[in-house]
């Protein structure tokens, strides 16, 4: 098993050694006798046979799943927690964030099995360590079959040594402070600065209770934690205005938002064909532009290069388009024109991810008052004071 026994200092922050036993004990509080499984995704899942995927050095996430989680469970962690099982399975990579999972899965003997019969109906705790996020589909199946789980897509060394080494009891307390400070907001006004352009977006929350992703999945209720955790989020009730977005190829576009969804993208800088392709998708499948989440990070963490951790950093914010049923929203896969479009895609704004885009200010509107909560990727006095309160 990969040894992680030393304290780690990253970006001036010191974290305790990663402990799989501590992580699973804190997140799940196992009662003994529960059966645990590990899932990975592969372009060719038949490579699960005899763990042949380990021969491919590019499969770093899957290597971490094997070396840290699979071997860790087998070499003492499972018995220490009273867990049974510990088997590892692979499914075919979906190719998109939170797309529905396939019907088939493969074990390490090369057998093709039914996902429902072999996994959902058998295991009490499911750990999905994958390339693409599977939080939405696993959350839906957890509610149907009663298991608990955690999704850890994009796992790397920085995440292991920081975001997964923290005390999630403390993360939960800190997230609750920010949740309490932001809950029941009527709306949020967000100002973006890009060169000389100022774009503004208003997201309506209609006084809803804020939710938190805090990493604890305790008790017997079905639930799936997204790890690393540490965010406060809302499912928008509507949105109006404009915001900038950076595409994967670096192209920058202006998103024109009306009635809660992106109606049209226009080029700011980069490749016009990227914008054209997005507009074609918005026209053919309009719900792909629906804003399904507004999130705020709550943790002090180093940049990992992976959104799963970097969107949890205090001072960052993100919006997401698409599927929202796993967050309590009503946009389910059946409402998309094409199944391949039923993704949940986070759009993160942070100094590391979008250095050309500054979120100059985020203001919360609540009960007739307008309160700045973020300024230039930092928290305002309002949130600082909320965080300083005793738990």
Q: If pLDDT is split at 50, 70 and 90, which confidence band does 14 have?
A: very high
pLDDT in tens, 280-318: 999 999 999 999 999 999 999 999 999 999 999 999 999
pLDDT in tens, 71-111: 999 999 999 999 999 999 999 999 999 999 999 999 999 99
pLDDT at 389: 87
Tokens of 246: 């950076």
Q: If pLDDT is split at 50, 70 and 90, which confidence band does 2 have?
A: very low
- Count of other CB atoms within 10 angstroms of residue 46: 13
Q: What is the pTM of this model?
A: 0.95
Q: Tell me the three-class secondary structure of the chain, residue by residue.
A: CCCCCCCEEECCEEECCCCHHHHHHHHHCCCCCCEEEEEEEECCHHHHHHHHHHHCCCCHHHHHHHHHHHHHHHHHHHHHHCCEEEEEEEEECCCCCCCCCCCEEECCCCCEEEHHHHHHCCCCEEEECCCCCCHHHHHHHHHHHCCEEEECCCCCHHHHHCCCCCCHHHHHHHHHHHHHHHCCCCEEEEEEEECCEEEEEEEECCCCCCEEECCCCCCCCCEEEECCCCEEEECCCEEEEEEEEECCCCCEEEEEEECCEEEEEEEEECCHHHHHHHHHHHHHCHHHHEEEEEEEECECCCCCCCHHHHCCECCCEEEEEECCHHHCCCCCHHHCCCHHHCCEEEEEECCCCCCCCEEEEEEEEECCEEEEEEECCEECHHHHHHHHCCC
Angle between the N-to-C axes of helices 381-388 and 168-182, in degrees from 0 to 180, rounded to the nearest 10: 130
In percent, how much of the chain has pLDDT > 70?
A: 98
Q: Report the relative pairing of strands 125-128 and 148-151 from DSSP bridges.
A: parallel
pLDDT at 349: 98
Q: Are the CB atoms for 194 and 357 separated by under 8 Å?
A: yes
pLDDT at 335: 97
pLDDT in tens, 31-60: 999 999 999 999 999 999 999 999 999 999
pLDDT at 1: 41
C-alpha to C-alpha distance for 151 and 131, rounded to whole angstroms: 10
Tokens of 2: 């990969």
């Amino acid at each position: 098993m990969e040894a992680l026994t030393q304290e780690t200092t990253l970006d001036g922050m010191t974290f305790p050694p990663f402990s799989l036993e501590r992580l699973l004990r804190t997140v799940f509080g196992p009662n003994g006798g529960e059966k645990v499984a590990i899932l990975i995704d592969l372009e060719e899942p038949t490579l699960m046979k005899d763990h042949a995927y380990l021969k491919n050095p590019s499969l770093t996430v899957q290597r971490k799943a094997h070396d840290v989680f699979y071997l860790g469970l087998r070499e003492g962690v499972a018995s220490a927690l009273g867990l049974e099982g510990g088997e590892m399975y692979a499914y075919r990579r979906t190719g998109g964030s939170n797309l529905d999972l396939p019907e088939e899965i493969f074990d390490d003997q090369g057998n093709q099995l039914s996902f429902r019969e072999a996994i959902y109906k058998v295991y009490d705790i499911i750990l999905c360590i994958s390339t693409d996020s599977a939080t939405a589909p696993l959350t839906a199946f957890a509610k149907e079959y009663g298991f608990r789980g955690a999704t850890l897509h994009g796992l790397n060394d920085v995440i292991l040594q920081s975001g997964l080494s923290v005390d999630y009891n403390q993360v939960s307390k800190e997230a609750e402070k920010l949740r309490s400070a932001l809950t029941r907001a009527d709306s949020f006004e967000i100002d973006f600065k890009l060169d000389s352009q100022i774009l503004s977006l208003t997201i309506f929350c209609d006084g809803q209770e804020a939710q938190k992703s805090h990493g604890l999945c305790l008790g017997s209720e079905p639930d799936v934690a997204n790890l690393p955790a540490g965010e406060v989020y809302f499912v928008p009730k509507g949105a109006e205005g404009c915001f900038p977005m950076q595409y994967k190829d670096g192209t920058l576009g202006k998103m024109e938002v009306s009635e809660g969804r992106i109606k049209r993208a226009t080029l700011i800088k980069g490749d016009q064909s990227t914008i054209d392709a997005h507009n074609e998708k918005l026209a053919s499948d309009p719900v792909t532009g629906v804003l399904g989440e507004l999130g705020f990070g709550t943790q002090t963490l180093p940049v990992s290069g992976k959104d799963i951790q970097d969107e949890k950093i205090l001072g960052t914010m993100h919006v997401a388009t698409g599927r929202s049923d796993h967050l309590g929203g009503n946009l389910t896969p059946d409402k998309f024109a094409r199944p391949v479009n039923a993704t949940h895609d986070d759009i993160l704004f942070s100094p590391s991810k979008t250095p050309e885009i500054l979120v100059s200010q985020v203001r919360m509107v609540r009960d007739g008052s307008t309160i700045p909560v973020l300024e230039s990727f930092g928290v305002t006095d309002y949130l600082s004071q909320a965080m300083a309160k005793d738990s």
